[in-house]
Structure 1
Amino acid sequence: MLAAPVLQDTGRTDKEFPVGFFDRFKRVVKANLNSAISKAENPEKMLNQLITDMNQQLIEVKKSVAGAIADEKRIERQMNEQLKQSADWENRAILALKAGKEDLAREALGRKRESDEYAGQYREQWESQHQAVEKLKTHLRGLQQKIEEAQRKKNLLIARSKRVEAQKRIHETMGGLSDTSAFEVFDRMNRRIEDMEAETEALGELVNSGSTEDDIEKQFQALEGSSGGTPDTMLEDLKQKIALEGPQGDTAQNTGDVEDDDLAELKKKLQDDESSGS
């Protein structure tokens, strides 16, 4: 009799195998998430680390699924091997009958039946493993989609986190500005500058008013200086004065002679002054 082949029990049924792996994955991710949320020091760092952990767990799950697929392939090869042996024993039985050896043909058919029985057992195990593997593949695809979705949500959550942080800083800044001491300093400086501007304008008005008085004084001095008249005007005035007095006989004649002498002397004096000045 041919030794019976040993059927390897993978220990993974169509119900227990997928649930066990993915339940473990969920527990690990949930534990990491709760731990990260409890710390919550840096949301961006927390989410990045969470995605890293999920991808690491995904790698482990893929390894397990790959192992299940390898078990399925091994069982399938063993089943096909038993089917091939069954066909070989059948051919040998035919060959023995043709040679007229019925006992040998009967032995070959007995081996064929054993191979068929083992092949049937392998087929049952392979079908069960195949169903489990298909479920694993389906769960794995769903898991990958969830991780991809988590990756997209991570970016949105980080953006929201940064927006909240910016709003928090704005509120803190506004809260700090609620202290009016800084604004009071600005008000005092504003009043001080206004006072300085007023003082500057007052000084400017004083300077301008002094200049106006000086201008008026100069104008009056010019008028007063011109009140005596030039030599020409003085000469005309003197002629008019003499004309008003008119001739008075010999006295007037004598006076005229005296005046002529005076005029000659005055002219001579003016010429001498001009000569000495030149």
Structure 2
Amino acid sequence: MGIFSRMTDIINSNISALLDKAEDPQKMIRMIIQEMEETLVEVRSSSARVIADRKTAGRRLERLSEEAHEWESKAEMAINKGREDLARAALAEKREVEQEVNLVESELKELDGHLNHLSEEISQLQTKLNDAKAKQKAVMMRKASVEHRMKVKRQTHRAALDDAFAKFEHFERRMDNLEGQVEAMDLGMDVKSDLKSEIDALANDDAVNDELERLKAKLKTKVSEKDQ
């Protein structure tokens, strides 16, 4: 693609539409700006060459104009000297120089038109570049804002999770404490229960033995009464 075709495409392009379609707007606008800057450098270089050509043509036109004026002066001198033949020859030379002057003037006119066109193109391209840089700044600010908001949300969510975990751990600790208190109340209960059972068993045994002795005594009394 030629420089001017590329420049025209850039000037006519809709940067906002390109960014809307881009998967990575930041990368896309960097590429757009780089393309614009490179094109602007090329266009300015081309303009510099045209300006140099115009200066060369301008100096040539000046020399030709002086030369045409000299031939006319020589023709006048020849007429004054009665040499009409030399006057004709001088005027013929002047005519050839004037034809060349006309060509150089046409060249200058084309160069001026080309420079005006380049100046307009550069102005439009510079405006487009400024717009792209402004959009780049906006994109970067939006990206930074989104990243900051994401960071804040992550921190908020993390803080909420940490708080939830802390509350859950606190609840578990309370439950552990309550369970510990209940289990502490049961400590030694089995030992006391077994001891009580044994003591009660001994008491029951004594009662049974007393009752047994009582019955034996009763029976012995009855036997003694029968023998009498």
* TM-score of the pair, normalised by structure 2: 0.61
Q: Distance in 2 between matches of 1:167 and 1:88?
A: 81
Q: Which runs of 5+ in 1 are unaligned?
A: 1-19, 200-278
Query: Which residue number corresponds to residue 78 of structure 2?
Result: 96
Deviation by residue 1:164-221 (Cα, 9 ceiling, x = unmatched):
233445566777899x7x666433322245468889xxxxxxxxxxxxxxxxxxxxxx
Query: Which residue number corresponds to residue 52 of structure 2?
Result: 70
* TM-score of the pair, normalised by structure 1: 0.51
Correspondence 1:153-172 to 2 at 5 A? 153-169=135-151
Q: Larger radius of gyration, structure 1 or 2?
A: 1
Query: Which residue number corresponds to residue 22 of structure 1?
Result: 4
Give the 3 Å change call, closer, same or farther, for CA 156–97 of structure 1 in structure 2: same
Query: Which residue number corresponds to residue 129 of structure 2?
Result: 147
Q: Distance in 1 between matches of 2:76 and 2:8?
A: 58
Relative to its length, the structure with more helix (as a share) is: 2
Deviation by residue 1:37-63 (Cα, 9 ceiling, x = unmatched):
8673xx556544543342222111100
Query: Which residue number corresponds to residue 189 of structure 1?
Result: 169
Correspondence 1:205-216 to 2 at 5 A? none
Give the 3 Å change call, closer, same or farther, for CA 140–96 of structure 1 in structure 2: same
Q: Distance in 2 between matches of 1:69 and 1:21?
A: 18
Matched, 1:111 2:89: no
Q: Distance in 2 between matches of 1:62 and 1:113?
A: 38
Amino acid at match of 1:118: E
How many aligned positions are there?
178
Query: Which residue number corresponds to residue 67 of structure 2?
Result: 85
Q: Which runs of 5+ in 2 are unaligned?
A: 180-228
Query: Which residue number corresponds to residue 105 of structure 2?
Result: 123
Give the 4+ runs in structure 1 shifted more than 6 A.
Answer: 172-178, 196-199
Deviation by residue 1:42-88 (Cα, 9 ceiling, x = unmatched):
x5565445433422221111001111222222223322222221101
State the superposition RMSD in angstroms.
3.9
- Match of residue 61, structure 1, among 43, 61, 76: 43
Give the 3 Å change call, closer, same or farther, for CA 176–46 of structure 1 in structure 2: farther
